[in-house]
């Protein structure tokens, strides 16, 4: 039995040492890749000693009762530490590309809804009306853009707002003219 205890102590110590060494190595490598200052020795030592203590005590508790399961678990945990960064990178890449992207239309609708909500609270806000007119114009809702621009011009009669109203009227007229089917060549 004494040789079994010595074997258990050696086994537990070796795996705990290997495990804590890998943890310290990964921490140091992460610091190097992030281009930060060198990790203080105290942090690396703390991480390594906590890991060593945890692995050693858990091995001392489980190895005498289930030696094969403990050895397999130790090897799997050691392999897991090396495989985890690779899997994390692959999963992050996979889910980054599968995540639904918010399109411009959805963003524009959300912006328009937010501006309309702001206008409910402050109906005399010409800036919100100007922005709402621009958003409606980008969404292709020219009539609503014209209404918002006219209201903005009524509240803030600047040349910029006047030009915006004129431009939108021209665009709407052109759109209706092309929709009706008459153009420059049919007039002649």
Answer with the residue of higher pLDDT: 175 or 42.
Answer: 175
pLDDT digits (tens, 9 = 90+) for 15-56: 777 777 777 777 776 666 555 566 666 677 777 777 778 777
From its phi and psi, is residue 100 left (phi > 0), alpha (psi between -120 and 50) or beta?
A: beta
Q: What is the mean pLDDT of residues 160-170?
A: 91
For the chain, first and last CA: distance in Å?
112
Alpha carbons within 13 angstroms on the beta-carbon side of residue 66 total 9
- Tallying the residues shown for the chain, one arrives at 188
Task: Write the DSSP string, 24-65.
Answer: HHHHHHHHHHTT-PPPPHHHHHHHHHHHHHHHHHHHHHHTTT
Q: Parse the chain into domains and list their residue ranges.
A: 2-98, 104-187
Give the E-state strand segments of the chain in sequence order.
Answer: none
The mean predicted confidence, pLDDT, of the chain is: 77
d(CA 77, CA 58): 13
Distances (CA, A) of 16 to 8, 91, 163: 12, 29, 76
HSE (CB half, 13 Å, CA atoms) of 37? 4
pLDDT band at 188 (very low <50, low <70, confident <90, very high): very low
Give the three-state DSSP class for 122.
Answer: coil
Q: Which CATH architecture has domain 104-187?
A: Alpha Horseshoe (1.25)
Structure tokens at 40: 């203080």
Q: Count CB atoms within 10 A of the CB of residue 16.
A: 22
Structure tokens at 108: 């524009």
Mean pLDDT to the nearest integer, 117-122: 90
pLDDT in tens, 120-140: 998 889 899 999 999 999 888
Q: How many CB atoms lie within 10 A of CB 157?
A: 10
Given this model, what pLDDT does residue 89 score?
75
């Amino acid at each position: 039995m004494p040789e079994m205890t010595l074997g258990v102590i050696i086994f537990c110590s070796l795996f705990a040492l290997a495990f804590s060494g890998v943890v310290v190595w990964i921490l140091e490598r992460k610091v190097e890749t992030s281009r930060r200052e060198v990790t203080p020795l105290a942090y690396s030592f703390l991480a390594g000693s906590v890991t060593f203590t945890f692995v050693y005590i858990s091995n001392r508790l489980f190895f005498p009762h289930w030696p094969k399961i403990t050895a397999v678990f130790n090897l799997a945990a050691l392999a897991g530490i090396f495989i985890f960064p690779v899997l994390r990178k692959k999963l992050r890449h996979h889910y980054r590309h599968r995540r639904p992207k918010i399109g411009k239309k959805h963003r524009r609708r959300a912006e328009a809804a937010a501006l309309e909500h702001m206008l409910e609270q402050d109906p005399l806000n010409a800036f919100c009306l100007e922005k709402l007119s621009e958003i409606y114009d980008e969404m292709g809702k020219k009539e609503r853009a014209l209404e918002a621009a006219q209201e903005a011009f009524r509240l803030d009669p600047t040349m910029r707002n006047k030009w915006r109203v004129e431009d939108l009227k021209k665009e709407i007229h052109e759109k209706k003219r092309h929709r009706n089917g008459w153009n420059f060549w049919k007039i002649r």
